[in-house]
Structures are given as C-alpha cells and as structure tokens.
Structure 1
Amino acid sequence: MVEGWFGGEGDAFRLLGTRCSACAAVFFPREDVHCRNPRCAGGELVEVPLSRRGRVWSYTDGRYRPPSPYVTDPELPWEPYALIAVELAAERLVVLGQGVPGLGVADLAVGMEVEVVPGVLHEDAETVWTTWQWRPTTGVRS
C-alpha cells in the first residue's frame, strides 16, 4: 500500500497519522506539508500512532472487481469483501478500510467495536502488498 501509513507488528500494529503542534488536529492519511485546518496558522506536523480500536460508523460490501490500479488475479473468481468506515476511539476520525477475510456485512452493526490489524491486499511470486483491515473485537453477529 502506501509507505508510512502504518507500521508495527502484532499488538504494536498501528495506522500512522500526523498531529499539528499548533492546533492539535490529527490527519489520516498523514499530512507532511502543512496543517489542513483552515483556522490554523500552521505548526510542526508530528507523526502519531492512531488508536487501534474504534466503532463501526458505516459499512457496505464490495461486490465488483475494482478497475486498475487495484490489483487482482482475473483468473480467480471475485470474492466480495466488507468495506468499513470506523470512527477511531481517541481521535474521533473516520478511517475507511476492508474487513478481515471472511467478514461480511451480515456480521457488522453500526457501533460495533473493531480493531485495526495487518492484512494482505494482494500477493504474487515476488511481492506481498500489506494493508490494514478491521476485525471485530468480540464474536461476530449471528
């Protein structure tokens, strides 16, 4: 995916954002040039690890194969996936991402607690493209 947007392994895996030292606004994706807050004169932008947990704000399912540059194997059948908007616990920032494999929209509910985990977006013989995914913190709905 995009270098610098996440890092760490296991329980240390985090999305990485930036915080403005002048107004304390937090940004994801990260901002490395200037504060996006129109009311702020600007300050130093400092990298910050974002909350691991949040609550489902909205969700839908991806039922079609996205166009390029999204990479998929056209020889394999398309598998729908859950696309989840999560409001991070501390930052109150909404971040979009895929659900973990096997998680469908029938398993989700607005307000459900989820956590960010590393996942595989695509892999081939030479490369594994890693991304973030959302996983429920408790058993999925039945």
Structure 2
Amino acid sequence: MVADWFSGEGEDFRLLGTRCGACGSVFFPREDSFCRNPGCTGGELAEVPLSKRGRIWSYTDGRYRPPLPYVSDPDAEWEPYTLLAVELEDERMVVLGQAVPGVTTAELEVGMEVEAVPGVLNEEAGTTWTTWHFKPVSAR
C-alpha cells in the first residue's frame, strides 16, 4: 500500500489529499511539508478525502511489461492493463490510476463517469500490496 494515499473500504473508500489552509489548494498525492502552489506563502496542510467519483479525461492501455523498479514476476504471463486520467468531481484535478482488472479501452470513452475503488497491485508470499483502481459507474 502507498502509505496515506487512500483509506476506507467499500463505499467509504477514498483517495486522500491535503488542502492548504492559506490558499485552499488541494494536492494529490498528499503533501505534508509545504504548499505546492507557487503563489502561496504557505499555510497549515490538512488531510482531506477526495471525491469518490470523476470523469475520464484520457485513457490508454499498457501492453508492455514495465522496467524496474516496477514489481513484476518475469516468469508470469504479462497481462495488459488500462490506465486512466480521471478529473475528480469536486476538486477538478486529474488523478492517474489503473482501471479495475478486465476493463479495456474498448469499453471506455472520454467523459465517462468512474469511481475510485480499492484494488490489488501485487500479491506475493502472503503479502498483498494494495492500491486504487477506477471502475466505470455503469459497471456496478
């Protein structure tokens, strides 16, 4: 799991960002040291849950095995995956992530509504690395 990037399960699952108390800018991934807004002199940063839903801004497929440091079993058959850029509903910021397994680019279109759901990045020797995926809302 990427520490502190998301929390909750099921309907309570949310990506976590931070909001600057001085200018109101929201950041993902979270920022705990300083406001990334170059026009802000800085303020207290507070953790905030981000919108669960958003709309596809762009998408593509990953048909190659990525190089290190990505964790990948070189002996396992490679399975393509779908990458999404999603504009979150309230924050109007674009977040990248994978689609839920089994969703292909043929099933997607720009502007389609999706939601963030818990996902598994990798499982090995009793360890599960968790992440988030985006799921088309119509695929409930």
TM-score by length of 2: 0.97
SS in 2 for 1:138: helix
Structure 2 equivalent of residue 58 of structure 1: 58
Measure how far apart 1:76 and its partner are.
Answer: 1.4
Measure how far apart 1:74 and its partner are.
Answer: 1.5
The residue identity in structure 1 corresponding to 2:123 is: E
Measure how far apart 1:43 and its partner are.
Answer: 0.5
**Counterpart-to-counterpart distance in 2, 1:37 and 1:43:** 11
Measure how far apart 1:8 and its partner are.
Answer: 0.6
Measure how far apart 1:103 and its partner are.
Answer: 0.4
Query: Identity, % of aligned pairs?
Result: 69
The residue identity in structure 2 corresponding to 1:101 is: P
Q: Which runs of 5+ in 1 are unaligned?
A: none
Structure 1 equivalent of residue 20 of structure 2: 20
Structure 2 equivalent of residue 123 of structure 1: 123
The residue identity in structure 2 corresponding to 1:93 is: M
Residues 34-58 of structure 1: CA deviation (Å, up to 9, x unaligned) = 1011111111000000000000000
**Counterpart-to-counterpart distance in 2, 1:139 and 1:41:** 44
Pairwise CA RMSD of aligned residues? Answer: 1.1
Measure how far apart 1:139 and its partner are.
Answer: 3.9
**Counterpart-to-counterpart distance in 2, 1:75 and 1:38:** 46
Whether the 8 Å CA contact 2:2–2:130 is kept in 1: the answer is: no
The residue identity in structure 2 corresponding to 1:77 is: E
Residues 83-123 of structure 1: CA deviation (Å, up to 9, x unaligned) = 00000000001000000000010011000000000110000
Measure how far apart 1:126 and its partner are.
Answer: 2.5
**Counterpart-to-counterpart distance in 2, 1:139 and 1:43:** 40
Q: Which runs of 4+ in 1 moved over 2 A?
A: none
SS in 2 for 1:106: helix
Residues 4-62 of structure 1: CA deviation (Å, up to 9, x unaligned) = 00111111111000000111000000010010111111110000000000000000000
The residue identity in structure 2 corresponding to 1:103 is: V
SS in 2 for 1:24: coil
Structure 1 equivalent of residue 82 of structure 2: 82
Structure 1 equivalent of residue 93 of structure 2: 93
Q: Which runs of 5+ in 2 are unaligned?
A: none
**Counterpart-to-counterpart distance in 2, 1:125 and 1:34:** 38
Aligned length: 140
TM-score by length of 1: 0.96
